[in-house]
């Protein structure tokens, strides 16, 4: 090795050491900058979500409105993230604070809730207030409380059948693509046919329609719908368990030309994953431990797929054949492993539920913000799912052994819950 090469190596080594030392010295500042950037993004997103879901009760500047508490308090900012997260996600039992977490029947995912918490703990309420108002939402003088909307909505309530029919038409043409034809939810958007949404106020629902939901595919529809259309849509969402389901359009497809039986079609297209008798398999759930699902729901799931289930196009499974397949599944597969209760047994099962489950899961299986999640859903929960979590519990609840609730009683309770869903 020549002298010049030695000097070159020494200089290169020295340069690397200097650069490394500089990066080590710079690393804390770089991490701080990254944290500030992340926090600023979280606060901005949290502010938009706060305007939609929180400002109505807690005020644009966190000052608290009427009987609702202020959030602009040192006590609140100093709370542990876990405490605030649980409060937002699960709600506060005995108050108007409902659960906002997806796992508890709400509309916000974990990241969105964490962004709201970041805003509460690290945001400037003066700046937040300005941004909330800039977004166009003023809790005291907003579109959600406008006299015009209240007048239109009151009129809509007075003509329930026509309003529901109008709301269903709007939902089918605009909302069903993401939320499902009967509001059952899809991979793109949450369930709207739920107790949680039905108990939201018209003002809260109008805020979501007007301003969308940050971080999701829910865009703003403030200018797209008239006040009449918004009122009809909101009335539908609040009364989904009534006339709305009854007037949902049913497919009318001619199946007279189908020569193959529903059983053959089921065994060809469904049995490889769901089992010949709907007993389930390694990649697909049981079908025989849930009550028959609606034709519209099954058609949507077959055409769009979900998780490991691929979509089935018309070229493979034409609509007439799909209708024959569905008719067979509804008569022979769905619910085939579930007991059929008499009126007396159903009354006995209702008593068992009230004694064993209602305190945590609500009188009608609607769930409670503090204790237990909803048990009556669309689509319904699998019997085996309910039984499993009853026996083994979850991260937050203990299991219930058979000496407290027998297998027979548990089976009766599950049948009762399914009857509530129907």
DSSP 241: I
Read off the pLDDT of each residue in 381-408 and give the average, rounded to a whole number. 82
Residues 6+ apart with CB under 8 A from 182: 193, 245, 248, 294, 296, 297, 378
Between the CA of residue 421 and those of 279, 328, 408, what are the distances in Å?
Answer: 22, 22, 20
For residues 229 and 254, the answer to whether their CB atoms sit within 8 Å is no
Domain 143-246 superfamily per CATH: Cytochrome c-like domain (1.10.760.10)
Q: Is pLDDT above 90 for 187? A: no
* DSSP-assigned letters across all residues of 154-202: HHHHTSHHHHHHHHHHHIIIIIHHHH-TTS---SSS---SSHHHHTS-H
Tally helices (H) and strands (E) across the chain. Answer: 21, 0
Read off the pLDDT of each residue in 212-218 and give the average, rounded to a whole number. 66
Q: Is pLDDT above 70 for 145? A: no
Residue pointed to by tokens 């996600």: 89
Q: How far apart are CA 377 and CA 362, in angstroms?
A: 13
DSSP 70: P
Any idea how long the chain is? 422
Q: Is pLDDT above 90 for 147? A: no
For residues 201 and 189, the answer to whether their CB atoms sit within 8 Å is no
User: Which structure tokens are listed for 151?
Assistant: 């007048």
Look up the CATH number of domain 10-135.
1.10.760.10
Domain boundaries 343-421, CATH class: mainly alpha
Residue of 332, 334, 236, 249 whose CA lies nearest to 296: 249
Q: Which residue has the higher pLDDT, 47 or 261?
A: 261
Residues of the chain with CATH 1.10.760.10: 10-135, 143-246, 262-332, 343-421
Residue pointed to by tokens 């085996």: 384
348-382: pLDDT as tens digits: 999 999 988 888 888 888 777 556 777 887 678 88
Residue of 99, 234, 211, 209 whose CA lies nearest to 155: 234
| Helix (H) or strand (E) run with residue 207 in it | helix 202-211
pLDDT band of residue 244 (cuts 50, 70, 90) is: very low
42-95: pLDDT as tens digits: 888 888 888 888 887 788 888 776 556 778 877 778 788 888 888 888 877 656
DSSP 3-state of 209: helix
Residue of 377, 260, 418 whose CA lies nearest to 328: 260
What is residue 204's predicted lDDT score, i.e. its pLDDT?
74
94-124: pLDDT as tens digits: 566 778 888 777 778 888 899 899 998 888 8
Q: Is the pTM of this model over 0.75?
A: no
The alpha carbon dihedral of 248, 229, 212, 88 has a sign of negative
Read off the pLDDT of each residue in 310-322 and give the average, rounded to a whole number. 89
Between the CA of residue 21 and those of 18, 111, 362, what are the distances in Å?
Answer: 5, 36, 61
User: Which structure tokens are listed for 261?
Assistant: 């039986």
Which architecture, in CATH terms, is 262-332? Answer: Orthogonal Bundle (1.10)
For 180, counting Cβ atoms within 10 Å of its Cβ (0-12 exposed, 13-18 middle, 19+ buried), the class is: buried
């Amino acid at each position: 090795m020549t002298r010049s090469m030695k000097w070159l190596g020494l200089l290169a080594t020295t340069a690397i050491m200097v650069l490394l030392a500089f990066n080590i010295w710079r690393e804390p500042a770089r991490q701080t900058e990254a944290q500030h950037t992340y926090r600023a993004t979280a606060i901005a997103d949290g502010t938009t979500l706060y305007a939609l879901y929180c400002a109505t009760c807690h005020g644009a500047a966190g000052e608290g409105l009427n009987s609702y508490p202020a959030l602009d308090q040192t006590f609140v900012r100093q709370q542990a993230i876990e405490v605030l997260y649980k409060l937002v996600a699960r709600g506060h039992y005995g108050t108007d604070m409902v659960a906002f977490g997806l796992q508890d029947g709400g509309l916000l995912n974990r990241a969105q809730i964490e962004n709201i918490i970041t805003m509460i703990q690290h945001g400037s309420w003066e700046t937040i207030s300005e941004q909330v108002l800039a977004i166009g939402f003023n809790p005291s003088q907003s579109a959600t409380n406008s006299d015009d909307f209240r007048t239109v909505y009151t009129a809509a309530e007075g003509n329930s059948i026509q309003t529901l029919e109008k709301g269903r038409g709007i939902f089918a043409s605009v909302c069903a693509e993401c939320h499902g034809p009967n509001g059952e939810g899809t991979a793109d958007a949450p369930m709207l046919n739920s107790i949680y949404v039905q108990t939201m106020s018209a003002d809260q629902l109008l805020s979501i329609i007007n301003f969308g939901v940050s971080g999701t595919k829910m865009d703003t529809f403030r200018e797209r719908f008239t006040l009449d259309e918004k009122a009809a849509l909101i009335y539908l969402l609040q009364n989904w368990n009534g006339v709305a389901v009854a007037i949902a359009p049913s497919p009318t497809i001619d199946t007279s030309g189908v020569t193959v039986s529903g059983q053959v079609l089921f065994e060809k297209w469904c049995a490889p994953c769901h089992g010949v008798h709907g007993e389930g398999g390694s990649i697909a759930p049981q079908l025989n431990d849930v009550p028959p699902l609606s034709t519209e729901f099954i058609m949507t799931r077959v055409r769009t797929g979900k998780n490991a289930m691929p979509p089935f196009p018309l070229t493979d499974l034409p609509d007439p054949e799909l209708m024959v397949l569905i008719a067979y599944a509804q008569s022979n597969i769905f619910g085939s492993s579930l007991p059929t209760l008499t009126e007396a047994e159903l009354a006995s099962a209702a008593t068992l539920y009230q004694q064993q489950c209602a305190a945590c899961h609500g009188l009608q299986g609607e769930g409670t913000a503090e204790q237990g999640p909803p048990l009556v859903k669309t689509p319904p929960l699998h019997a085996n799912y309910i039984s499993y979590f009853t026996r083994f519990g979850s991260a937050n609840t203990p299991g219930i052994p058979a000496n407290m609730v027998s297998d027979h009683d548990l089976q009766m309770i599950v049948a009762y819950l399914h009857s509530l869903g129907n």
